[in-house]
Each structure stands twice: as C-alpha cells, then as structure tokens.
C-alpha cells in the first residue's frame, strides 16, 4: 500500500476529539487580538511601502511567513488534535491478528506442582512464551478469577503486555471464565469490519461474506473452568492447559448455627472433599479465637470421598472459628484447607416483665443467656418509653388497650386488642390439634406437653393479622399477631395452671420467642468469597472505618456520601475486620457508638478444589483449532508520528520566537 | 572637528571654518568651458585682465580701441579683456518634515553641510544663495557675498525650522526660474517625495552649470534598527504602514534603499547631476573634508 492509498483508507479512531478543533479559531482570535502594533513616527514610509511590496512580490506566502509564530502554533495545535483523533489506516486485509489472552488466576491456580512451583507460575511462563510468538501482531491481556479484568488495551506494544503479565498475581476467587470470555469476545467483535453491501445484494439474496476479524482467543488455564453456554464463538479458542497435580482435600462447606444441646449452644458443620484420585490423610482442627476447641479429628479420605463432620461447642465469648485441614502430605492446594466463621456477640436483649409477679417467668428470664430484664407493676409503665428502653415486653395477665409500637410483646393469659375484641370462653384441658413446627419459635420445641395438660384456657379465635401457632379445637393456645408496627405472641392460658414450665420445651419456647420478638440474630457470619461485595453502614458520625486484614495490617477506608463502605473481598483469605476505632480494646471499655464488622473471606468452592487437569471449557460449536491464521500487515496508527511532528513544530516555534 | 555636540551647539566651529577657508568649490564645467588654463584672481580692483585683440567692427565699444596699435599700424583693433565673473552658488535645502526625523539628526546634518559649503564658497568670493523649501519654495534669502557673510549664513541656518510636507518638483521649479546659467546648485535633501524624483531633478540639471546632489539619509533609515510589530506613521502624510519586522522584511527594506539610490543615480546621470550619498551616521566634517574632496567637489 502506497502513501496515497494509506491516506485514502485512513480512519479516525477517536472522532469525539474533533471538538478540540474549536481551539483553532480561538487561537486565531487570540493571535489577532494579541497584535497591538507599536506606533512609531518615521520620516517617510515611502521606502517601507516599497519594501513590503517587494516582499509580497518575492514571497506569495509573505503573510504566512510574517506570522510564522502563528503558523507554528497552528501546526502544533493541528498535529496534537490529529494525534488525539488517532488516525489509523489499514483494512481487514492488512490488519494484524488480534490475540486475546485469557489468563486464569482463580484459586485452583495456587496448586503446587511437582517442581515446587505454583500452577500460576507455569501459566505465566506459557503466557510469556506466547507473547514472544506474536511479535508484529496485536494482543490484549485479560485475567479472570473472581472477576474478569482487561489488563491492557488492544496493542501492538508487546512490552505493555509483558509488563502487565509481570504484574499479574494469582487470586483465591472462583473462576469467572464466562465473564472473561464475554469480555474477550467484545474485543474481538469491536475489531470486526462491517463489509460494504453491494448494490442489489439484498434483492438478489446474496449472502454477505463473514465480517469476522482475524483474531483468536488463547485461554491459559488449568482447565477448571465452567462451560460456555453463550452464542457461538466465531474465532478460534485455543486452550493452553497448565498443571498436572490432582491430589487435594479441601473444605467445601463450613457453617454453624446456634442450637441448644448438651454439647453446647453452637453446632458447627464441616464438609471436606478429596477431589483427587488418591487417598489422603490428615487431621481436622476446629480453632476458636486461636485456641483448639475440639480434639483434632484424624481421617483418611479416599479419592472422591466426602466427609461431613459436625461439632457442638459452647460459643461463650468466641469471636472467630477456624477450621483447618492439615494434610499429612500430597495436598497440592492449600487455599481450601482453611475456612473461617465469625461469631458476633449480640447486644443483650432488654426485656420488661409487666404485671403480677410470676416466679416461673422470673426464673425463666434469669436463665436466658445474654439478657437484661426488669419488672414493673402494670400501673407504673410509661407506654411511650417502652420502645426506647426495651426490646420485648412480657405482659402477664394484663395488657394495655393499645399496645405500643416498636417493641415485641409476649402476652400471657390476656387478650390484646384490637386483634381480639371479645374474651373467649373458658375451655378446660383441651387436647392439642396441631402446632406450627415451621415457625421459628417452635422449631426446637415440642408442644406435646400442652396436650390436655392445661387446666383452663381461653382459646383465641382466628383474627385479622393473627396466626395460630398451637391450636386446640376451640381456637389457638398460642398465636402470633402483627399489624401496623405492632407484633407479638400471645399465650392464652396461665402457665401456672399447666405443667408446661416443668417441660424442657418451655424454656426453649420462651428463649426462642424472646429472641424472635427482640429480633436478636444469631450473629454468625459465614463469610464471603473473594470478589464479593461487602457493605458496611456504621451510622452516626463515622466517616471512615479501619480495615484490619487477616495479617494484622490496618488500613483506613473512607465511607461514601451515604455513610456506606463498599468493599470487594480481596484475595486474602481469613477474617477481615472493619471497625470505627483503630483498636477495639477490652470489651468493658468499648466506647459508645463503636462499630465492628467481621467478614471472613473463604474459598469454600468445590469447583476450585477440583484441581485435576481438564481439557478446558466446553465451548459448544466454537472452533478450537489453532491453524488457519493469516499473517498480515499491522494496522497503522499515526498518532505517535503526529505527536512527533507537533513537538517539532513546537521546537520550530521556539526557535523562531527566539531568533526574532 | 567632530559632529558630536548638543543640538544647541553652533553648526560649525572656528577651527572647522579655518579649514574651510583653504578650500574652493571646484567647478569642472566652468573651467573646461572657458579654457583659461589657470585659476582666475578673485581680488577686488583687478576685475579685468587683457586677453586678446580682435578686429574692430561697427558697434564695438570705442572705449576698448587699442590706440597704441592704431598709432603704429593704423588699423583698428579692439582690446579684449577676460571678464572676471562672480560664481553663483545656490544652496538648496530641503526643510520638509521628513528631514527632521531619524537618528542621528538629519536636519542638523543638512544644515551643517550647507553651512560648510556656504562658508567655503563665501571664502572663495562666490555669491551664495540660500534657498529653503518644503511644500513650496520659501521666500528667497538675500544673496551673500564675502567672508564676512559666513556668520550671517550660519546664523540664518541655525534659525531655520523644518516645515511639513514635501513638494520637490514644485519648489525647485520656482528656483530654476531664477537660477542664472553657470551657477553651482547644491541640493541637500532626502528626496522623500511620494511624487517621485524625476520632476525634481529635472529642475536642477547640470547642463546649466554645475549640479551637485547631497542625498542625505539618517543612519537608521539606511540600516533600520527596529523590531516587533510596528505601525510606522509618515510624519509628512500621516499615512501609516503596519509592518512586522522579520529578517526578510528588513532585507527587503535594505533592497528598497539600494533600489532607490540606484534609481537616483540613473536620474542624476540623465540630468548630469553629481550625486553624493550621505548617511547621518557619518560625521559631516568627514563628508566635507574627505568625501567631497575625493569627489573633487572641493579643492
């Protein structure tokens, strides 16, 4: 292609920068405004007129030469504007091949290979080899782990790709291959050239030639990538599979829930998988705040075996739980050998007991963990302050006409209005019909101790905004009610006239009810995965939070204008703490308004724990051959030359200015 | 003698005047035309000198009959005497406004040259006519004669003021009408007349005697020392020229000066005028004592 053809085929890569052309008339305006000629009296202008005429005759461009500075400045501006416009030439025929590199940096790439290097290091070596092979072509580098990121623009500058490759590091996230492939395809499709439609082609039904760009996608991965279910891929996708190790046992699930049992109030569940083919032995430790909680469980897992292990522990003041699988040997991936949970200690539940003194209720309140209770006679209560001072109010035999909002109500042997307006008839020793075992307050307690063992009760009929939890034939023994900000549970009998307090189900019901009405959460945070978004809203006047990562490094993170911190979980596994003070100090000296959020970042991914080499993603009908590529001339970009010309014009302007 | 001095200083000092007294305006045309062979006396009382005899013809002045020859030969001869003529030297000064511009001072330079030439002429017994013009010829000054008029001439020159515009042709036409043949006409001017040179120079042709032209330009008119973007205002016409002083424009100006001078020389050749191009950058005494002697205007 000669120069004229190149100019004819020249296209503008960034036409939005034409806007800068407005600077040219501005420069001219400024230039002409700038010229203020100094008046000077001379004897005669006769010779000057002759000189100027002579100058005009000698040089047709005298005016321009006279304004050489202006000319230089215009040239500088024009060259810079054209450089910004990114003119380029070259058509489909002479565009160089586009190589889209997708590099896997997911957790499985941390696997240690036989040579002691990680799988990711092997991947980077392959990437560097491939970069050396594409001299003269164009490339773009995309990494994918928890998210897919384009690390470079499409460029012919291999050094740029090399530098991006050197900066690349492995993560602990899942494999966002689909997102990465979509990103890579977007680069390929931006590269397509829309062919001109020949005249009459539409009428003649002529099939248009493919406008497919000369490109290929090179995926450097260990093959543990999800399948592609998107559109057909129009360019070849080449898999460069790295890694051979396959032995791995990983923790794939780690959960806990508060549950009352003889062993404690916290039940911990763990799932481990041997994703390899060979048996692996090791021990599983459960660690609470850095101390071993349970005796380590030793186990040999056969290839493909799944191991479910549960622990019951007393949570006490525990803040963090860590599960650690210590393989004796042969475990190639360490990232999935540890997992964390955080246990947030809840604020004590504030409960007010109103009405006649009731020894049973007082005793029941005294055994509930993490609770502060008070007693007041019915006549002494201030309904307006209840919601401010208490989470739950227990009404014993008496209820006010209007229950205050913003607080949970547990009513014993009374009929709260307006849910029930009439006092039902008394029924003696009614048999149970059913109870709602799915309700959170009854999930762990059996109601069978109530069956026919209540001396007297006034079963409540169904009402608007009510739900029967425990029913007898005449109505509900226990009901929920909720409407217009008022919520509560009513027990329609005097517990002193039943044997229920003697049954274990009563304290379970009582505790669950108080927690339910007080909206006290379990405080167990099972964590997030790398790349997940975590949001913290400390409230109050807090403008920044201190982020303490698992290695103990503290960083300050500012909140946005809504008083919110959004943090994308990093590649550092473990418990990340966000708190409003640099140091939390002792629990006794926690300042008012102190905010704390603990976020465990776990892998917990069976897909990532499965590290055995695989052939790569299933891409449906997509081509996967590496052959059939044509080599062509690179698409020429002219902006560097224009920039150089602009600088030369600037230099010329400088010289002219100083010579004058 | 040096030109250095304040504007208020006398145009000529005594030392220079003494040196002028030894010089004479050298008129080629008059000397060659009369073929006398030697310089004529300027002494008073010896105004005529015998030259030759010629046959008497009726109508000749009988007072000039040579009675001695008639007594010896009885033939009538008339005695011919060489007439001693007073030369008229016309100093034509351009006093237009343009002569008052430029550095060093063109107007003072002009008057100094005129004073020096006038002093030389007066010292040699010539009759000196000072004629000053700008837009038109100013009223004639009385002709001066004798060394004693030198101071009067200088005084007159010192009190001259430059005028406004220039009308070389019209002014010199007024001079030409009253200029007797055989005179020495010395025109001192920058010749900056938009109407051109030809008409002006036609009025002072060398064919009628001796015509000298001192073309006087200021030093910064020959070699402009200007820079930047200027609006040059014409002091006579009030017209202006916008000019950006680039190197090429300055070069073009120099070429214009050269072409102007070349054009001037052509016209001078045509009208038998002897030109002398003088810049005010050159001290006027150097012009008088060296340049004019080299040019054989002075002996």
For residue B240, which residues of chain A lie inside 8 Å, CB to CB?
Answer: 39, 45
Q: Dump pLDDT digits (tens) for A197-215.
A: 444 444 444 343 444 567 8
For residue A33, which residues of chain B lie inside 8 Å, CB to CB?
Answer: none
B51 in reach of chain A (CB within 8 A): no
Same domain, A336 and A480: no
pLDDT of the residue at B65: 85
pLDDT of the residue at A536: 85
pLDDT of the residue at B28: 66
Contact (CB<8Å) A42/B101: yes
Rounded mean pLDDT, A362-371: 83
Tell whether A179 is covered by a domain. yes
Complete DSSP assignment for A400-450: -SSPPSSSEEEEES---TTT--SPPPPEESPPEEEE-TTSTTTTT---GGG
**Higher per-residue pLDDT: A261 or B4:** A261
**Higher per-residue pLDDT: A396 or A596:** A396
CATH number of A596's domain: 2.60.40
Backbone angles phi, psi at B121, to 5 degrees: -65, -45
A37-to-A359, A654, A658 alpha-carbon distances in Å: 106, 21, 19
CA of A63: which chain B residue's CA is closest? B244
pLDDT of the residue at A4: 54
Three-point CA angle B159, B169, B115, nearest 5°: 30
Same domain, A174 and A27: no
Total number of domains constituting chain A: 5
Tell whether A201 is covered by a domain. no
B9 in reach of chain A (CB within 8 A): no
Same domain, A316 and A372: no
Distance (Å) from the C-alpha of residue B274 to the closest C-alpha of chain A? 22
A39 in reach of chain B (CB within 8 A): yes
Q: What is the C-alpha to C-alpha distance for residues B158 and B150, in angstroms, rounded to an integer? A: 12
Tell whether A309 is covered by a domain. yes
Comparing CB atoms, the residue among B102, B239, B255 nearest residue A54 is B255
For residue A47, which residues of chain B lie inside 8 Å, CB to CB?
Answer: 192, 221, 253, 256-257, 260
B191 in reach of chain A (CB within 8 A): no
Tell whether A566 is covered by a domain. yes
Q: Is the pLDDT of residue A624 over 50?
A: no
Structure tokens at A293: 């909680």
Rounded mean pLDDT, A334-361: 85
For residue A43, which residues of chain B lie inside 8 Å, CB to CB?
Answer: 97-102, 106, 190, 192, 218, 221, 234-236
Contact (CB<8Å) A54/B260: no
Q: What is the C-alpha to C-alpha distance for residues B292 and B284, in angstroms, rounded to an integer? A: 11
Contact (CB<8Å) B253/A66: no
**Higher per-residue pLDDT: B111 or A87:** B111
Q: Is the pLDDT of residue A395 over 90?
A: yes
CATH number of A263's domain: 2.60.40.10
Same domain, A359 and A456: yes
Q: Is the pLDDT of residue A91 over 70?
A: no
pLDDT of the residue at B164: 85
| A548: Cβ contacts below 8 Å, ≥ 6 apart | A554, A576, A577, A578, A579
Same domain, A114 and A169: yes
| A353: Cβ contacts below 8 Å, ≥ 6 apart | A361, A362, A365, A373, A374, A375, A376, A394, A396
For residue A41, which residues of chain B lie inside 8 Å, CB to CB?
Answer: 101, 232-233, 235
**Higher per-residue pLDDT: B90 or B249:** B90
Same domain, A408 and A486: yes
Tell whether A301 is covered by a domain. yes
Contact (CB<8Å) B232/A42: yes
Contact (CB<8Å) A37/B231: yes
Q: Is the pLDDT of residue A633 over 50?
A: no
- Every domain of chain B and the residues it spans: 14-30+86-294
pLDDT of the residue at A224: 72
Same domain, A24 and A38: yes
Distance (Å) from the C-alpha of residue A167 to the closest C-alpha of chain B? 55
B262 in reach of chain A (CB within 8 A): no
Rounded mean pLDDT, B21-38: 57
Tell whether A28 is covered by a domain. yes
For residue A66, which residues of chain B lie inside 8 Å, CB to CB?
Answer: 244, 246, 249
| Residue range(s) defining the domain that contains residue A335 | 249-343+605-609
For residue A71, which residues of chain B lie inside 8 Å, CB to CB?
Answer: none
Comparing CB atoms, the residue among B99, B239, B257 nearest residue A47 is B257
Q: Dump pLDDT digits (tens) for B150-192.
A: 999 999 999 999 988 888 888 888 888 888 888 899 999 999 8
Comparing CB atoms, the residue among B230, B231, B236 nearest residue A44 is B236
Q: Answer whether B273's CB lies under 8 Å from B172's CB.
A: no
For A374, how many CA atoms within 13 A lie in the half-sphere containing its CB?
14
B28 in reach of chain A (CB within 8 A): no
Q: Chain B window 78-117: which residues touch A at a Cβ cutoff of 8 Å?
A: 97-102, 106
pLDDT of the residue at A481: 92
Q: What is the C-alpha to C-alpha distance for residues A471 and A468, in angstroms, rounded to an integer? A: 6
For residue A659, which residues of chain B lie inside 8 Å, CB to CB?
Answer: 247
Rounded mean pLDDT, A575-589: 72
For residue B165, which residues of chain A lie inside 8 Å, CB to CB?
Answer: none
| B148: Cβ contacts below 8 Å, ≥ 6 apart | none
Distance (Å) from the C-alpha of residue B104 to the closest C-alpha of chain A? 12
Mutant choice from B217, B248, B263 vs A, greatest count of A C-beta within 10 A: B248
Q: Answer whether A276's CB lies under 8 Å from A303's CB.
A: yes
Check: CATH 3.40.50.410 for B14-30+86-294?
A: yes
| Of A26-30, A493-497, A592-596, highest mean pLDDT | A493-497
B257 in reach of chain A (CB within 8 A): yes
CA of B261: which chain A residue's CA is closest? A47
Tell me the torsion sign for CA atoms A193, A198, A203, A209. negative
Q: Dump pLDDT digits (tens) for A147-203.
A: 889 999 888 888 889 999 999 988 888 888 888 988 988 888 876 544 444 444 444
Same domain, A142 and A269: no
Q: Are strands B274-279 and B209-217 parallel, antiparallel or unpaired?
A: parallel
Same domain, A290 and A423: no
Mutant choice from A33, A40, A43 vs B, greatest count of B C-beta within 10 A: A43
**Higher per-residue pLDDT: A65 or A520:** A520
Tell whether A213 is covered by a domain. yes
For residue A70, which residues of chain B lie inside 8 Å, CB to CB?
Answer: none
Same domain, A457 and A503: yes
């Amino acid at each position: 292609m000669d120069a004229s053809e190149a100019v004819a085929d020249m296209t503008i890569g960034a036409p939005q920068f034409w806007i800068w052309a407005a600077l040219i008339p501005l420069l001219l305006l400024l230039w002409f405004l700038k010229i203020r000629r100094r008046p000077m009296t001379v004897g005669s202008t006769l010779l000057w007129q002759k000189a100027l005429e002579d100058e005009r005759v000698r040089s047709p461009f005298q005016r321009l030469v006279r304004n050489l500075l202006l000319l230089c400045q215009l040239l500088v501006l024009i060259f810079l504007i054209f450089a910004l416009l990114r003119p380029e030439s070259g058509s489909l025929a002479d565009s160089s091949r586009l190589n889209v590199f997708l590099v896997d940096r997911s957790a499985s790439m941390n696997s240690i290979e036989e040579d002691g290097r990680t799988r990711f290091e092997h991947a980077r070596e392959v990437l560097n080899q491939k970069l050396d092979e594409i001299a003269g072509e164009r490339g773009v580098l995309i990494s994918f782990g928890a998210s897919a990121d384009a690390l470079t623009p499409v460029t012919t500058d291999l050094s740029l790709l090399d530098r991006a490759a050197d900066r690349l590091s492995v993560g602990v996230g899942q494999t966002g291959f689909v997102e990465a492939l979509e990103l890579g395809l977007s680069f390929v499709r931006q590269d397509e050239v829309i062919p001109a439609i020949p005249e009459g082609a539409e009428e003649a039904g002529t099939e248009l030639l493919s406008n497919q760009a000369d490109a290929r996608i090179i995926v450097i991965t260990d093959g543990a990538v999800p399948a592609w279910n998107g559109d057909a891929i129009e360019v070849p996708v080449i898999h460069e599979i790295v890694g051979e190790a396959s032995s791995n046992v990983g923790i794939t699930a780690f959960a806990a829930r508060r549950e009352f049992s003889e062993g404690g109030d916290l039940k911990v569940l763990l799932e481990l998988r041997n994703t390899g083919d060979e048996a692996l032995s090791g021990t599983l430790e459960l660690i609470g705040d850095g101390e071993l909680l349970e005796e380590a469980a030793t186990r040999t897992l056969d290839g493909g075996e799944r191991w479910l292990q549960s622990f019951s522990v007393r949570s006490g003041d525990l803040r963090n739980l860590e599960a650690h699988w210590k393989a004796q040997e042969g475990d190639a991936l360490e990232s999935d050998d540890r997992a964390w949970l955080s246990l947030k200690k809840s604020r004590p539940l504030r409960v007010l007991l109103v009405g006649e003194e009731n020894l049973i209720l007082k005793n029941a309140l005294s055994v509930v963990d993490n609770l502060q209770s008070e007693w007041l006679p019915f006549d002494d209560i201030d309904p307006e302050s209840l919601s401010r001072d208490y989470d739950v109010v227990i009404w014993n035999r008496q209820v006010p006409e209007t229950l205050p909002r913003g607080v949970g109500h547990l009513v014993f042997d009374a009929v709260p209005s307006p849910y029930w307006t009439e006092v039902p008839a008394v029924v003696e020793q009614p048999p149970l019909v059913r109870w709602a075992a799915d309700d959170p307050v009854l999930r762990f307690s059996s109601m069978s101790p109530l069956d026919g063992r209540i001396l007297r009760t006034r079963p409540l009929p169904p009402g608007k905004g009510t739900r029967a939890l425990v029913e007898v034939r005449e109505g509900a023994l226990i009901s929920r009610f909720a409407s217009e900000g008022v919520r509560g549970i009513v027990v329609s009998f005097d517990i002193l006239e039943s044997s229920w307090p003697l049954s274990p189900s009563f304290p379970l019901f009582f505790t669950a009810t108080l927690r339910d009405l007080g909206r006290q959460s379990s405080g167990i945070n099972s964590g997030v995965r790398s790349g997940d978004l975590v949001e913290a809203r400390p409230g109050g006047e807090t403008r920044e939070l201190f982020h303490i990562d698992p290695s103990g490094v503290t960083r300050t993170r500012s909140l946005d204008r809504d008083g919110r911190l959004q943090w994308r979980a990093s590649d550092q596994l473990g418990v990340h703490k966000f708190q409003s003070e640099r140091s939390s100090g002792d629990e006794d000296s926690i300042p008012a308004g102190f905010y704390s959020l603990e976020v465990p970042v776990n892998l917990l991914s069976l897909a990532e724990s499965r590290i055995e080499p695989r052939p790569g993603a299933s891409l449906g009908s997509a081509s996967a051959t590496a052959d059939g590529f044509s080599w062509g001339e690179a698409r020429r970009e002219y902006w560097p030359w224009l920039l150089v010309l602009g600088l030369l014009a600037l230099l010329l302007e400088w010289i002219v200015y100083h010579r004058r | 003698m040096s030109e250095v001095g304040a504007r208020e200083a006398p145009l000529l000092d005594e030392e220079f005047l003494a040196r002028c007294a030894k010089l004479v305006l050298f008129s080629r045309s008059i000397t060659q035309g009369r073929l006398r062979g030697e310089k004529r006396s300027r002494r008073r009382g010896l105004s005529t000198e015998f030259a030759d005899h010629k046959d008497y013809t009726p109508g000749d002045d009988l007072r000039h009959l040579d009675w001695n020859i008639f007594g010896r030969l009885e033939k009538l001869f008339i005695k011919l005497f060489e007439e001693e003529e007073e030369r008229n030297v016309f100093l034509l000064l351009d006093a237009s406004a343009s002569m008052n511009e430029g550095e060093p001072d063109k107007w003072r330079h002009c008057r100094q040259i005129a004073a020096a030439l006038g002093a030389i002429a007066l010292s040699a017994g010539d009759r000196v006519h000072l004629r000053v013009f700008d837009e038109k010829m100013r009223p004639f000054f009385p002709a001066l004669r004798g060394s004693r008029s030198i101071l009067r001439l200088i005084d007159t020159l010192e009190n001259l003021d430059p005028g406004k515009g220039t009308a070389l042709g019209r002014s010199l036409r007024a001079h030409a009408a009253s200029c007797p043949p055989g005179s020495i006409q010395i025109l001192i001017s920058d010749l900056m007349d938009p109407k051109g040179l030809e008409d002006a120079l036609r009025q002072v042709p060398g064919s009628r005697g001796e015509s000298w032209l001192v073309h006087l330009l200021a030093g910064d008119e020959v070699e402009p020392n200007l820079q930047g973007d200027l609006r040059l205002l014409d002091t006579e016409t009030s017209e202006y020229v916008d000019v950006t002083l680039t190197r090429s424009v300055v070069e073009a100006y120099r070429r214009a000066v050269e072409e102007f001078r070349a054009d001037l020389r052509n016209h001078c050749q045509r009208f038998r005028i002897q030109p002398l191009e003088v810049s005010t950058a050159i001290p006027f005494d150097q012009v008088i004592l060296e340049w004019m002697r080299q040019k054989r205007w002075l002996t």
